[in-house]
Amino acid sequence: MATTDKASTRDRLLDAAADLIYREGVSVGIEALCRSAGVSKRSMYQLFESKDDVLAASLERRIPRYEEQIAVDPGVVVTPRERILGVFARLEEFSVRPEYRGCPFLAALVELKDPGHPASVVASGAKERLKEVFRAQAELGGARDPELLARQLMLIFDGASARAGAGIETLEGLTTTTVTALLDAAGVK
């Protein structure tokens, strides 16, 4: 039995949406989406009210893997500083892969330009969770202003993701060096 036979229609649709939207952007058409998933438009509309809902659900489904990719192994004891730097080291690592197109959540937010869009709500939530990880680690590490540092780290993360995803910048050594200077200035241990 083929893998696609095992996957539910919903799973195939969400997998296709995640892949197509990451590679081509949120403007991908319903026809292309359904064709890629091997499902009819009728089936799609039986599962989701609109393409917007498919987009939001596909982003929601990406969150655990995204968070896992940027997390430090919970079994490894690291300082807050090392944990923050680890996120950026992994960003540098992922950014050199040929399929890397930047942060999928940032891309959706930038393309949609509508904070009320269902996919924007999901993407904003994912970005807020990362900012909270940065803020909590900054606080644990003794930063003078953990909230400001978290916002600065998000600016570096998103800017680096966008530049690398667009193919105009390589990140190797760039973000970790930049973040090290920022952590030093903020007093993070």
Whose tokens are 């978290």? That residue is 150
pLDDT at res. 144: 97
| CATH code of residue 160 | 1.10.357.10
3-state secondary structure of 15: helix
Q: What is the mean pLDDT of residues 66-77?
A: 80
pLDDT at res. 68: 87
Q: What is the dihedral of CA 94, 99, 105, 111, to 10 degrees?
A: 140
Of 111, 10, 101, 108, the residue nearest 59 (C-alpha): 108
Domain around 177: 3-186
Question: What is the distance between the alpha carbons of residues 50 and 30, in angstroms, rounded to a whole number?
Answer: 9
- The CB density around residue 189, as the number of other CB atoms within 10 Å, is 11
Q: What is the pLDDT of residues 99-134, one digit of tens each?
A: 999 999 999 999 999 999 999 999 999 999 999 999
Angle, in degrees to the nearest 10, between helices 80-95 and 118-140 = 140
Contacts of residue 111, defined as CB under 8 A and 6 or more positions apart, other chains included, come to 25, 26, 27
Q: What is the pLDDT of residues 45-55, one digit of tens each?
A: 999 999 999 99
pLDDT at res. 7: 58
Question: What is the distance between the alpha carbons of residues 61 and 136, in angstroms, rounded to a whole number?
Answer: 24
pLDDT at res. 77: 81
Domain count across the chain: 1
Q: How many CA atoms lie within 13 A of 69 on its CB side?
A: 14
Of 159, 143, 158, 138, the residue nearest 83 (C-alpha): 138
pLDDT at res. 70: 79
Of 132, 144, 155, the residue nearest 183 (C-alpha): 144
Report pTM: 0.90
pLDDT at res. 108: 96
Between 75 and 47, the more confident residue is 47
Question: Would you say residue 74 has pLDDT above 90?
Answer: no
Between 2 and 73, the more confident residue is 73
Least confident of 2-16, 59-73, 164-178: 2-16
How far from the centroid of its chain's Cα atoms is residue 79's Cα? Answer: 24
Question: Would you say residue 4 has pLDDT above 50?
Answer: no
What are the b/e assignments for 28-61, b being 16+ CB within 10 Å? beeeebbebbebeeebbeeebeebbebbbbbbbb
pLDDT at res. 5: 45
